[in-house]
Structure formats: C-alpha cells, structure tokens
Amino acid sequence: MSVRVFLGLGSNLDNPLKQLKRAVSALREHSQIEFIRVSSAYLTKPMGPEDQADYYNAVVELSTALSAEALLVVTQSIEQQQGRKYNGKRWHERIIDLDILLYGDERIDSDNLIVPHPGLHERGFVLFPLYELDKNINIPGKGSIDQFMQSELTGEVLRKLDTVL
C-alpha cells in the first residue's frame, strides 16, 4: 500500500538550485517512488551559524510503498551521490539535505528517524513550501498547518523563486 510522503530539500553549496534539481530528478527516476509534485524553491536564511550562504529550500510530494526506514536509505543514498559529507556538525552548510517531513499520518521515533520531522512546525523554510503544496496538511501530534503559518516565520524566508525544479 502506498503512503503519501513529503520530503524537505535544502542546499547552500555548489550551485544550490542545481543540487535541488538533481535531487528532484533522482526522486522522479526512482522505480519505487511515484513523484507527485514539487513546490517552488525558496531562498532562506541559514539556521544556525550565520557565516554561511543562504539556503535554497523546496518540498516534494510523493507516494511510495517503501517503509519510512527504506525511504530514509534512498534519501541518504541520493545525498551521498551528490557529494554530501557528514561532519557531525549541526546546521552547517551542505551540498544537499533531504529530510522526511511527513510519512502519511504516522508518528515515528526510532534511532534513525523521527517523523514528523522535529521542528517542522517551527521552520518557515519547510512550512512555506509545504503549505504551497497542501494548505490542509495536518502535522501528526501537532495540528493543522494553518496554525503554524505565522508572520514571525516570514523572516526566515527571503523570497519565493520562479525557478522550476
């Protein structure tokens, strides 16, 4: 049985828009993923250290019969193929970052994966593109996305881009 999934994508290194497009392409081509749609790209302020370049973020909607853990392996493989290096630092610059934001209505808390993604409801850089795709999203354990679309989150989002991913 297929599950509706939303993934967050982010990049601020090595031509970030190109990195987002490469990740979207890899997801579109995966045999066990039905690619549904992608949000606009958003230019956003970095989370954490401010001495890094701004980020480009987007959200993709897909459907898959893969388990959440198997999908995590796919997303990490795409990151590695694009040259992502894990240095143990939190909120550092990166070539590509793919996060499972929502996996159906499930709440998952394992050693490898937490869904809904922690902090999802507090981060404009994923809320804005997620809201663009579906204004009726319910974040399991948190509530309707509408209640999180607050004006203070707009400070993170510098602008919505016209670029097609």
H-assigned helices in 42-144: 68-81, 124-133
pLDDT for position 45: 86
Global pTM exceeds 0.75: yes
Domains of the chain and any CATH numbers: 3-160 (3.30.70.560)
Answer yes or no: 84 catalytic: yes
Q: What phi, psi does 162 have (nearest 5°)?
A: -90, 0
Region of poorest pLDDT, from 3-12, 28-37, 64-73, 149-158: 149-158
* pLDDT tens, residue by residue, 86-136: 666 666 778 899 999 999 999 999 999 999 998 888 888 899 999 999 999
Q: What is the mean pLDDT of the chain?
A: 90
Calpha distance 86→104 (Å, rounded)? 28
pLDDT for position 89: 63
pLDDT at 151 over 90: no
H-assigned helices in 30-105: 68-81
Answer yes or no: 90 catalytic: no
Confidence grade of residue 65 (pLDDT, cut at 50, 70, 90): very high
- State the catalytic residue, choosing from 37, 90, 99, 162: 99
Answer yes or no: 28 catalytic: no
- Entry field: residues in the chain: 165
Calpha distance 73→13 (Å, rounded)? 22
- State the catalytic residue, choosing from 84, 105, 134, 162: 84
Confidence grade of residue 139 (pLDDT, cut at 50, 70, 90): very high
pLDDT for position 108: 94
pLDDT at 11 over 90: yes
Answer yes or no: 159 catalytic: no
With CA atoms as reference, report the closest residue to 55 among 120, 11, 119: 11
What is the average per-residue pLDDT within 9-30? 96
114 has which bridge partners? Answer: 109
- State the catalytic residue, choosing from 37, 54, 90, 97: 97
* pLDDT tens, residue by residue, 31-60: 999 999 999 999 988 877 777 899 999 999
pLDDT at 83 over 90: no
